[in-house]
């Protein structure tokens, strides 16, 4: 299995490789405003179009594998997510650039999205999955720790954000058996949330 293979979905979400046609869907979604809370400065500027252009350029270079997320039940745009820093030699990959519209947060959509991403990485024989997160994004860090991810450290003053401030970067990871355990936990959570 390849990380960018087509047919990437589960009962809740479908993930498609990010394309130019997704620009308008993301721009009008509620996800854009939340992006500015954690968005690093891009070499091409600090506006939405600079961010989107940068994502497409990095995809073309093979530096990231970005996806648009669609909720299966109503075909609604549900955000974006990406694989980062793929190393097939060392069987490791990062997951980041995660943005969901406000109305999708706290629903089954983010849980099912993580389940899909972690599951595909495991299916592609990755033995380490990293999650680089702004250190003050406590909500995201707590969510990953509930999955069993361990925080390995904090890189101080790692990136400048779009608002001009500097942010530390927390690095969390799942390795080996922790990955399988996280997938099982996510499957259980998705099933519970769908029944609720």
Say how many C-beta atoms besides its own lie within 10 A of residue 182's C-beta.
Answer: 22
38 or 87, higher pLDDT? 87
Give the pLDDT of residue 39: 72
* Tens digit of each residue's pLDDT (9 = 90 or more) over 60-112: 998 899 999 999 999 999 999 999 999 999 999 999 988 888 888 899 999 99
In angstroms, the Cα distances linking 106 to 32, 43, 109, 117, 143 are 17, 32, 8, 18, 11
Give the pLDDT of residue 37: 67
Q: In which band, very low, low, confident or very high, does the pLDDT at 36 lie, cut at 50, 70 and 90?
A: low
**Cα–Cα dist 53/38, whole Å:** 18
Give the pLDDT of residue 182: 97
Give the pLDDT of residue 118: 97
Give the pLDDT of residue 181: 97
Domains of the chain listed by start with CATH number:
8-195 (3.40.630.30)
Nearest CA-CA partner of 14 in 116, 154, 99: 116
Q: Is the pTM here over 0.85, yes or no?
A: yes
Mean pLDDT across the chain? 91
Does the pLDDT at position 179 exceed 80? yes
Q: Nearest 10 degrees: CA dihedral of 55, 57, 58, 64? A: 60
């Amino acid at each position: 299995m390849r990380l960018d293979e087509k047919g990437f979905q589960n009962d809740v979400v479908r993930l498609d490789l990010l394309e130019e046609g997704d620009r308008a869907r993301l721009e009008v979604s509620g996800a854009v405003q939340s992006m500015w809370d954690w968005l690093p400065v891009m070499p091409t500027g600090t506006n939405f179009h600079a961010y989107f252009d940068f994502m497409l350029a990095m995809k073309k270079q093979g530096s990231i594998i970005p996806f648009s997320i669609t909720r299966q039940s109503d075909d609604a745009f549900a955000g974006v997510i990406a694989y980062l820093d793929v190393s097939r030699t060392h069987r490791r990959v990062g997951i980041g650039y995660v943005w969901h519209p406000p109305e999708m947060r706290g629903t089954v959509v983010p849980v099912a999205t993580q389940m899909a991403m972690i599951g595909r990485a495991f299916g592609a024989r990755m033995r380490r999955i990293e999650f680089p997160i702004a250190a003050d994004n406590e909500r995201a860090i707590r969510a990953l720790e509930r999955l069993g991810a361990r925080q390995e450290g904090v890189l101080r003053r790692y990136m400048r954000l779009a608002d001009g401030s500097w942010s530390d970067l927390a690095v969390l990871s799942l390795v080996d058996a922790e990955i399988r355990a996280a997938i099982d936990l996510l499957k259980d959570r998705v099933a519970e949330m769908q029944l609720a």
